[in-house]
Structure 1
Amino acid sequence: MKKATYVMILVLTIFVGGMANAQHAYFPTEGTILYDKTIHVKNLLRRHISTLKDDNFSKKYYQELMDRVSETAVLKKKVSFRGQEMSLESIKETYDPILSNLLRSGLLDYQPTLYQDLSKSISKSTFEIGGSPVFIQDSLLQVKWKITNEYRNIAGYDCRRANGVTLDSVYVVAFYTDQIPLSAGPGTVHGLPGMILGLVVPEQHFNIYATDVKFGSPDLKTVTSRKRDEPMTRQEAHSRLKDILGRWMTDQQLNLLFAAMFL
């Protein structure tokens, strides 16, 4: 009888303790997340070269770069979030001259500053193309998700995998945690029941994973334009850039270019 009573008390203690822990579970609503974006540079260059016409003067230049460029490059990103708002920015670092040139050209990364208000379905981003600023303001990107039963631990968080399609045909793989309740991530891809801590975009030859999560009041980056920089929707940017670049670039190149800009 004493043994049975002891077991019952032990079970009740564990149960009550579990209830107390559940009641005090902490779901942060503001903080910053650091990410490493790994770009498979040689694979990206091979893809780019394959889209160029044989008489394109850039083709030989990129072919010669293949022997001198590094296999991969890692860029640092920071996401700040508070409530239903988030911002993304690039952390400036020094790269070798070849990678620096590829970054300036936009081939590796447009290094945008992004701001999103999920409660208002607003997305704003700004970046440069050929030294000229581009300012995009539009609704949130639409993504069709299928959540799987695969899990991965990222930066100390158990994250669940989801496969998605966006921009008509771009396939993405995301790992999100519901322990950070904001439906956002390291870019415009969103719409899952928690923060995306890992994102893979095979077509763009990159993956980005969180390395550190810190809670506390963040410094959100707002995105504004100069008075003479007219904001464009994604469709307007697509049409305008196609008019300018269409004579030199194939449709395949343009589609890859726009996916890199809008993600």
Structure 2
Amino acid sequence: MKRLIWITASVLFFSGTAFGQHAYFPEAGIIHFEKRVHLKNFMKRRMALSKDDNFDRSYMEQLMSKAPESYVYKSKLSFNANESRYDAVQEELTGIMRNLEWYGFDHNGSYYQDIGKGLFKNKLDYNGGNILLEDSLLNIKWKITNEYRDIAGYTCRRANGVLLDSVFVVAFYTDVIPLSSGPACMHGLPGMILGLVVPEQHYNIYATKVEIGQPQITSDFAKKRDKPMTRAAFQAFMRDRLRVGDWYTEPEFNFLMINMLL
């Protein structure tokens, strides 16, 4: 009888341990994020980089006087052991926000990463039309620090990164979620990125909740006849379309490209 009780207790203990490990090390699920854009700081930077004749200053001042200091966008990241997809959560915007979005601080993008294959896909909205990108995963140089922060119930470690030659970012990742991915195009750390700060673009993204499950992840963004571009081809296309040097200054164009490529 004692032996039977011991065996039963052992089975329950190890079963509970296995379940606890599965819950503690999720290999698939959905992460909910909030992206906070500091609107007025973003617009001040954008206006400072632009040609004076490209902005109606009085109109912009009127818009900004009615706009909030910051605005929060919601998004979600579906992931499994090999891939992830990050999508905006569609919400109804006020008239002020619809007008301000034209200036490019958010593009309602969808981002797909296949970590094993090193593949990246992106669909973003630009002035009411879709732009499709397909390229290798973005090259990011990371330096891991000894700073920690709790995000959505996970202990996360800070890493400082540089990408697109000179853009500085701060990320907080957890190795409890083993996939080397994160919001938008972020990846390359020993675990999932749950927090991201991009000072130059005046926004931050933090996870609010992690749900364990088996979400369906698709890399399809458009019809087969739609042809995606590489990042280099996209930048060349936009440079020509925006007539850099005529309509856009070089610093303003670079600022916009960083925003669209991240």
Q: Same fold (TM over 0.5)?
A: yes
The alpha-carbon deviation at position 226 of structure 1 amounts to: 2.9
- Cα separation, partners in 2 of 1:59 and 1:136, compared to 1, 3 Å: farther
Alignment-derived partner of residue 139 in structure 1: 136
Partner of 2:74: 76
Gaps of 5+ in 1: 1-16
Q: Which of 126, 130, 152 lines up with 1:129 in the alignment?
A: 126
In the TM superposition, 1:16-95 aligns within 5 A as: 25-26=21-22, 27-95=25-93
**Structure-1 residue corresponding to 2:253:** 254
The one-letter amino acid of 2:96's match is I
Other-structure match for 2:9: none
8 Å CA contact retained: 1:199, 1:207? yes
Matches of 1:60 and 1:228 in 2, distance apart?
43
For residue 86 of structure 2, what is the amino acid of its counterpart? L
Which amino acid in the other structure matches residue 54 of structure 1? D
User: Residue type matched to 2:94 in 1?
Assistant: D
Q: For the Cα contact (< 8 Å) 1:88–1:221, is it kept in 2?
A: no
Q: Distance in 1 between matches of 2:153 and 2:66?
A: 36
8 A Cα contact 2:37 2:70, kept in partner? yes
Q: Hey, what's the Cα distance between the residues in 2 that align with 1:241 and 1:96? A: 28
Q: Is the 8 A contact 1:38 1:72 kept in 2?
A: yes
Deviation at 1:224, TM superposition (A): 3.1
Once the two structures are overlaid, the 10-residue window that deviates more, 136-145 or 219-228, is 219-228
1:234 maps onto 2:234 in alignment: no
Query: How far apart are the structure 2 equivalents of 1:106 and 1:226?
Result: 28
Alignment of 1:199 with 2:196, yes or no, is: yes
**Separation in structure 1 between the aligned mates of residue 107 and residue 38 of structure 2, nearest angstrom:** 15
After TM superposition, give the deviation of residue 222 of structure 1 in Å: 2.4
TM-score normalized with structure 1 length: 0.88
Aligned length: 244
How far did 1:203 drift? 0.5
Alpha carbons of 1:152 and 1:55: their partners in 2 closer, same or farther (altered >3 Å)? Answer: same
Alignment of structure 1 residues 170-185 onto 2, 5 Å: 170-185=167-182
Report the alpha carbon displacement of residue 54 of structure 1 after superposing the two structures with TM.
Answer: 2.0
Displacement of 1:166 = 0.3
Cα RMSD over matched residues? 1.9
Alignment of 1:136-175 (within 5 A): 136-175=133-172
Greater than 4 Å deviation, 4+ residue runs: 20-24
Give distance in 1, aligned partners of 2:220 and 2:235.
20
Letter in 2 for 1:178: D
Conserved? CA contact 2:47–2:55, under 8 Å: no
The code of the aligned residue for 2:173 comes to Y
Partner of 2:212: 215
Deviations 1:106-140 (A, max 9, x none): 52201111111010011001122122221000000
Aligned partners of 2:110 and 2:184 also within 8 Å: no
What's the CA shift for 1:22? 9.6
Distance 2:20 2:93 in 1: 45
3-state SS, counterpart of residue 25 of structure 1: helix
Tell me the residue number matched to 1:7. Answer: none
Q: Which structure 2 residue ranges, 5 or more long, are not aligned?
A: 1-12
Cα contact 2:50–2:248 (8 A) shared by 1: yes
